[in-house]
Amino acid sequence: MNLHVDATRLIDELKTLATFTSIEPSTEGTAVTRVVFTPDDLRARAWLKDLAAAAGLVIREDAVGNTFFRWLGTDPALPAVATGSHIDAIPHAGMYDGTVGVLGGLEAIRALQRSGMRPRRSIELVLLTSEEPTRFGIGCIGSRLISGTLDPQKADALHGAQRGSEAETLAEVRTAAGFTGPLSSVRLPPNSYHAWVELHIEQGPLLEREQVPLGIVTAIAAPAGYRFTVEGIGGHAGALLMPDRRDALCAAAEIILSLEKHALATGVIDTVATVGTCDVYPGAVNSVPSRVTLQVDIRDTDPARREGVMAAVRRDIEALSKRREVRVTESLVNADEPATCSPHIVATIDAVAREFGIQPKHMVSRAYHDSLFMARIAPIAMIFIPCRGGVSHRPDEFAAPDDIALGTRVLASTLGKLASE
């Protein structure tokens, strides 16, 4: 197959997509903030739909905004081969996370079309809604619903997780964005896909460090999310005497350090724990914090070890709440299982890479991806490309055009092979 990826066009499209952002370009790099269902997200979706229509793809949108772009195969009744990722971006992100998989997926389909191939199975590009947890506190909403992992009613009742947006619900926000209908209709029947392959930047340092231009994911680590609310007693920062204080933020600080301590104590690099938001009420410099909410992200390749860390943190919380006389409540956001990739798809990608003269690295993904949930309804694998310094979720995130082009070429060839099966 004569596969030519138009790298210049693909990089131009990535740059254009990066202009759909709600913050100004930053000196740190191409900062992108594109939170799901904001005007920037909706403008980006409209632009992408035009590109896909120009490629002759059939477009379908579901009730949560997952968007399916299908190149019909010669045997369209067969389960399709799918690829895709996300275009939403956390605050002050870079321009490659997710977008490489979406625009790379589109270019892979165009490359196959240009090669003159007619696939037996349909090949579908999928844009998944809200991979990032920024707006509603939980990631991968679109792929959770597709795979039946998230209850549709609970999904619609999800509340805004950003400060000041607590009152909004997913039901209201998606309806206002033009995505209507019951969320129960989003779930895909089993056997919808013959295979799912996601192209993504590594978001870690290993490929660059080992000078390997391509990774093949064999497993995806299991993430969990929790919310802790600490309630103490507030008051005047000058007048409330130190021995009388029940400072909620000081207690929250102990919780944060407890998480760090117990994640380190496993002695395994696969255990990671992060407190990425800390909402302090009432949030005035001269007021003792009376209430603090923490959003906790904890991951491991072994969910039992992850639960062990949480159990140790809970013991610390019990002790510190007594000592500090504060009340701590915990709510579970998500506790997911890891995913294992399909040996057949991994072998297919491996063979394609070797045809291109590359010895790929087989590796675990410590970041989560929609593929974690697509794995529940289809055989999956992922293709990783290096990113500079392993940096991601930062404006200086960067992937080299040659690596993007190679990843896209390997994706195209893999999709072509799987679609012929």
Rounded to whole angstroms, the Cα distance separating 279 from 162 reads 9
Please compute, for residue 402, the number of CA atoms within 13 A of its CA located in the half-sphere on the CB side.
Answer: 3
List 41, 132, 208, 370, residue binding ligand GLV (CB under 6 A): 132
Shortest Cβ 98–Mn ion spacing (Å): 4
Rounded to whole angstroms, the Cα distance separating 109 from 140 reads 24
Site string for ligand GLV, 136-155 (x = CB under 6 A): ---x----------------
Burial class (CB in 10 A: 0-12, 13-18, 19+), 339: buried
Nearer to ligand GLV, 65 or 98 (CB): 98
183 and 151 in contact (C-beta within 8 Å)? no
Nearer to ligand GLV, 158 or 248 (CB): 158
Q: 202 touches which of ligand GLV, Mn ion, none (CB within 5 to 8 A by kind)?
A: none
Nearer to ligand GLV, 179 or 368 (CB): 368
Residue 148 phi/psi, 5-degree rounding, is 70, 25
List 20, 37, 228, 368, residue binding ligand GLV (CB under 6 A): 368
By CB under 5 A, tell whether 97 contacts Mn ion: yes
Q: Is 376 helix (H, G, I), strand (E, B) or coil?
A: coil
Shortest Cβ 45–Mn ion spacing (Å): 17
By CB under 6 A, tell whether 367 contacts ligand GLV: yes
Shortest Cβ 222–ligand GLV spacing (Å): 11
Nearer to Mn ion, 224 or 288 (CB): 224
Burial class (CB in 10 A: 0-12, 13-18, 19+), 236: exposed
Nearer to ligand GLV, 73 or 101 (CB): 101
124 and 419 in contact (C-beta within 8 Å)? no
By CB under 5 A, tell whether 98 contacts Mn ion: yes
The residue with tokens 């597709």 is 146
By CB under 5 A, tell whether 407 contacts Mn ion: no
Closest CA to 120 of 69, 84, 71: 71
By CB under 6 A, tell whether 226 contacts ligand GLV: no
Considering CB under 5 A, how many residues would be counted as binding Mn ion? 2
By CB under 6 A, tell whether 317 contacts ligand GLV: no
* Secondary structure tally for the chain: helices H, strands E: 12, 17
16 and 102 in contact (C-beta within 8 Å)? no
Shortest Cβ 262–ligand GLV spacing (Å): 20
Helix H segments across 185-245?
A: 206-209
Q: 368 touches which of ligand GLV, Mn ion, none (CB within 5 to 8 A by kind)?
A: ligand GLV
Q: Which positions touch Mn ion (CB under 5 A)?
A: 97-98
Q: Which positions touch ligand GLV (CB under 6 A)?
A: 132, 139, 367-368
